[in-house]
Chain A
Amino acid sequence: MTDVDIKIENIVASAAIGKDIKLTKVSKALEGVDFNREQFPGLVFKLKEPKTAALIFSSGKLVCTGAKSIDDSILAINKTVDLMRTVDKDIPHEFEIKIQNIVASANLEATLNLEAVALELENTEYEPEQFPGLVYRSQDPKVVLLLFGSGKVVCTGAKTKDDAKLGVERAYDRLSELDLI
């Protein structure tokens, strides 16, 4: 199968530290926090290194976005929880972290005729009036690709880097089969 290089651009991960959190209390221990209960129930905390943003909820669950690697995502979550622990000693050191979504980009190194792709490739949506990219919903792996006329691709919806890579590679091979690339 064709090998395509993938670059991870963003990772969304969730964590559940098994303990309720007092957001007003935690917000004092963290710097540069945004918190408007009426607007959004989560506390927004931005970490500089790794450059990420975390959403912290009173249930003790959090969401981390912005990391460029799975290691960075885990590191960001641990750093954030460590900071939270300075005002709440009872937060467990052991908790579950789940990778929820991986966004990656790639380059097929060939221009695409999107109107032709829209006609031949199944499960596509192409509305240039609204967005320049063609939306391709891959069934296996179950990911969504945005294909551009330049040959650049964005893959999202993957839970693993392998799925993101496989999604792009299968799409490439599919386009080759259909003589669209």
Chain B
Amino acid sequence: RLRKWQRKIRISGATERNLAFALSELDRDSSRLGLPRSVREAASVVYRSAVENKLIRGRSIEGVVAASLYAACRRCNVPRTLDEIAEVSRVSKKEVGRTYRFLTRELNIKLPPTSPVDYVPRFASELGLSGEVQSRAIEIIEKAMEKGLTSGRGPTGVAAAALYIASVLLGERKTQRDVADIAGVTEVTIRNRYKELTEQLEMGVTL
């Protein structure tokens, strides 16, 4: 009896230590990403439910924390790319993605794919673009989605191209290099996307 009790204490002690480690890891990653407290809390909720459902088995705490953060960012509409998550955590992009899929499947979390619109505010502010440019970029993205020009394309590339076009249209021109660096895509991708957008949406733009 006594042994069983001691074992329980030992286990709960280990559980608490793991949770404490996970939460500190979560804080560290969140700080590096500059995420608001609300997102950290959302991520900790995901992490705790993962623990409750015994989904940590065979997985690293860092990996589950990173995946929880990725999921929370998406749910709160302040998405971070897998590359950004992988950069601040010590988990590979592949691991984060696989753990994310596992968690969402096991916890029955259905998150729609990230909309390029959700990347506009962050990219725009980092580029020092006005609210008008942001609004115009969002209009472009919404039209693109209606016409099926976003299926299969990376959300960041679409957001980057829309911001680039909007910046030129409203006289706040940014170079493709600047936008590409902030969005984490290449100039070639921006070029491919914006050609597609200007051609298939009725924009008679000459950039």
| Residues of chain A at the chain B interface (Cβ within 8 Å) | 111-115, 118-119, 125-130, 132-133, 148-149
Contact B152 A129 (CB under 8 A): no
Chain B contributes a number of interface residues (CB within 8 A of A) equal to 16
Q: How far is the CB of A154 from chain B (nearest CB, A)?
A: 13
Which residues of chain B from 45 to 100 have any CB-CB distance to chain A below 8 Å in the complex?
A: 81-82, 97
Q: How far is the CB of B145 from chain A (nearest CB, A)?
A: 7
Grouping DSSP codes into helix (H, G, I), strand (E, B) and loop, the A interface class, with mixed when no group exceeds half, is loop
Q: How far is the CB of B94 from chain A (nearest CB, A)?
A: 9
Question: Chain B residues with Cβ under 8 A from A132's Cβ?
Answer: 151-153
Question: Chain A residues with Cβ under 8 A from B101's Cβ?
Answer: 125, 127
Q: How far is the CB of B43 from chain A (nearest CB, A)?
A: 18
Among candidates B97, B148, B153, residue contacting A128 with C-beta atoms closer than 8 Å? B153
Contact B150 A115 (CB under 8 A): yes
Grouping DSSP codes into helix (H, G, I), strand (E, B) and loop, the B interface class, with mixed when no group exceeds half, is loop
Contact B97 A114 (CB under 8 A): no
Q: Which 10 A-B pairs have the closest CB atoms?
A: A149-B151, A132-B152, A114-B151, A149-B152, A113-B148, A128-B113, A130-B97, A126-B113, A129-B154, A128-B152
Q: How far is the CB of B120 from chain A (nearest CB, A)?
A: 16
Question: Chain B residues with Cβ under 8 A from A128's Cβ?
Answer: 113, 150-155
Contact B97 A149 (CB under 8 A): no
Contact B151 A112 (CB under 8 A): yes
Among candidates B152, B154, B156, residue contacting A114 with C-beta atoms closer than 8 Å? B152
Closest Cβ neighbor of B94 among chain A residues: A130
Q: What sequence of 0s and 1s flags, for each residue 138-175 of chain B, a beta carbon within 8 Å of any chain A beta carbon? A: 00000001001011111110000000000000000000
Question: Chain A residues with Cβ under 8 A from B97's Cβ?
Answer: 127, 130
Contact B148 A129 (CB under 8 A): no
Question: Chain B residues with Cβ under 8 A from A127's Cβ?
Answer: 97, 101, 113
